[in-house]
Structure 1
Amino acid sequence: MPEHAKPPGLIQRYREELQTRHYARRTVTTYEQWLRRYLRFHSLRHPREMGSAEVNAFLTHLAVDLQVSASTQNQALSALLFLYRELLERDLELAGVVRARTPRRLPVVLTVEEVRSVLQRLDGTEALVAGLLYGSGLRLMEALRLRVHDLDFGRQELTVRNGKGGKDRRTLLPRRLAEQLRPHLQEVKSIHQQDLAEGWGRVQLPHALGRKYPHAPVEWGWQWVFPQQTRWCNPASGEQGRHHMDPSLIQKAVRRAVLAAGISKPATCQSLRHSFATHLLERGQDIRTIQELLGHSDLKTTMIYTHVLNRGPLGVSSPADLL
Structure 2
Amino acid sequence: MITVRRSWILYATLLVVFWGVWGAFSNLPTSLYGYPNEMVYVIWAFTMLIPAYFALRGNRFDRRPVAAVYGLLAGLTGAGGQLLLFQALSNGPAYLIFPLVSLSPVITVLMAVALLRERIQRLAVIGAVAALAAIVLFSISGGDGNADVTGPWLPLAIVICVAWGAQAFFMRKGALLGINDGTIFGWMTISGLLLIPVALVMMGGLPSGAPWQAPALTAVTQVLNAAGALFLVMALSRGKAAVVAPITNALAPVLTIVLSLAVYQTLPSVYGAIGIVLALAGSTLMVYSDEKRNDDASVRDADAVAPSPDATQP
Name the TM-score, length of structure 1 as normaliser: 0.24
The structure with the largest alpha-carbon Rg is 1
Of structures 1 and 2, the one with the larger relative CO (CA 8 A, separation 6+) is: 2
State the TM-score, normalized to the length of structure 2: 0.24
- Structure ranking higher in helix proportion: 2
Bigger strand fraction: 1
